[in-house]
């Protein structure tokens, strides 16, 4: 089992040390993990510093070892359609094994927070996030895997948390998945929605369609920000991907490894 989306205290919203989270991974029976701390930029500058310090990152992880667990080092970059140059700078801060691309800000607003939802129905909010996701994956090239495609389904501001229905946004989702497949990028099965909105982020139908469109790279991540969530539902997620693809991916030096 694997967990390729984890945040320690190195992230602005993390809680626990890298060592304690790696030990939690061992306790959960995980074979391999990757720390993917946040580098995000608030377009309006109201939320403070959301990008980790490289020296703190290196001090936390470079000598980190826990018996029985392979530890990789990654990052999660918050993409917008106009921060390509910033991404290039941040991805060159140091050597990474793995880079997640995610969308947290749409129209300058954090989609997790209530202001983004003002004046929108759930469908309209989902639609706007998917439109921005498509724009981002079309222009960005520096990420390996798209994180939590349907993140909007679990956000605090969502008045009706739900897995984003594939059929309600089929054409737009197809464009996103086709773009990922065409660029050789992967899709993350993020387990953090299962107990927050009732489904994985995204759900199995997205992955079946991703495979039909030529997608190959798939990873599993808990999005843990504290020890208690490390590896949460990883077994179920790995089994789902095994049934659809026959494997799950990990990364080393930005190259995918396919575990059958």
pLDDT one-digit tens code per residue, 10-66 = 999 999 999 999 999 999 999 999 999 999 999 888 888 999 999 999 999 999 999
The pLDDT, as a whole number, for residue 47 is 83
Kindly report the average pLDDT of the chain as a whole number. 97
Q: What residues are paired with 75 via a beta bridge?
A: 37, 99
The pLDDT, as a whole number, for residue 48 is 85
Helix ranges, 37-169 (H): 54-61, 84-91, 114-117, 122-139
Nearest to 41 by CA among 4, 78, 92, 7: 78
90 pLDDT above the threshold of 90: yes
For residues 176 and 105, give the distance between their C-alpha atoms in angstroms, rounded to a whole number.
Answer: 17
- Report yes or no: 16 and 80 within 8 Å, Cβ to Cβ: no
The pLDDT, as a whole number, for residue 45 is 80
Give the rounded percent of residues in the chain with a pLDDT score beyond 90.
98
3-state secondary structure of 46: coil
The pLDDT, as a whole number, for residue 124 is 97
- Report yes or no: 226 and 18 within 8 Å, Cβ to Cβ: no
Per-residue pLDDT, averaged over 95-100, amounts to 98
For residues 231 and 21, give the distance between their C-alpha atoms in angstroms, rounded to a whole number.
Answer: 10
Orientation of helix 122-139 relative to helix 170-183, angle to 10°:
20
β-strand 109-110 against 98-102: which pairing, if any? Answer: unpaired
């Amino acid at each position: 089992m694997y967990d390729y989306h984890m945040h320690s205290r190195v992230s602005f919203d993390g809680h626990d040390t890298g060592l304690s989270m790696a030990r939690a991974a061992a306790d959960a029976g995980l074979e391999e993990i990757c720390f993917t701390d946040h580098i995000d930029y608030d377009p309006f500058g109201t939320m403070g510093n959301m990008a980790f310090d490289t020296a703190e990152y290196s001090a936390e992880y470079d000598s980190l070892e826990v018996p029985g667990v392979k530890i990789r080092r990654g990052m999660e970059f918050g993409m917008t359609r106009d921060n390509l140059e910033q991404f290039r700078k941040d991805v060159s801060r140091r050597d990474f094994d793995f880079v997640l691309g995610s969308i947290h800000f749409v129209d300058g607003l954090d989609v997790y927070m209530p202001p983004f939802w003002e004046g929108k129905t759930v469908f309209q909010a989902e639609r706007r996030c998917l439109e921005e996701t498509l724009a981002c994956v079309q222009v960005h090239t520096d990420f390996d895997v798209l994180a939590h495609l349907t993140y909007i389904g679990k956000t605090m501001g969502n008045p009706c948390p739900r897995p984003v229905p594939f059929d309600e946004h089929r054409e737009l989702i197809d464009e996103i998945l086709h773009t990922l497949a065409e660029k050789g990028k992967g899709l993350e099965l993020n387990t953090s929605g299962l107990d927050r909105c009732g489904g994985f982020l995204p759900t199995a139908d997205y992955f079946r369609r991703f495979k039909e469109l030529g997608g190959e790279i798939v990873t599993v991540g808990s999005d843990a920000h504290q020890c208690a969530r490390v590896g949460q539902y990883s077994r179920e997620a790995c089994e789902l991907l095994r049934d659809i693809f026959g494997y799950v991916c990990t990364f080393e030096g930005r190259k995918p490894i396919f575990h059958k």
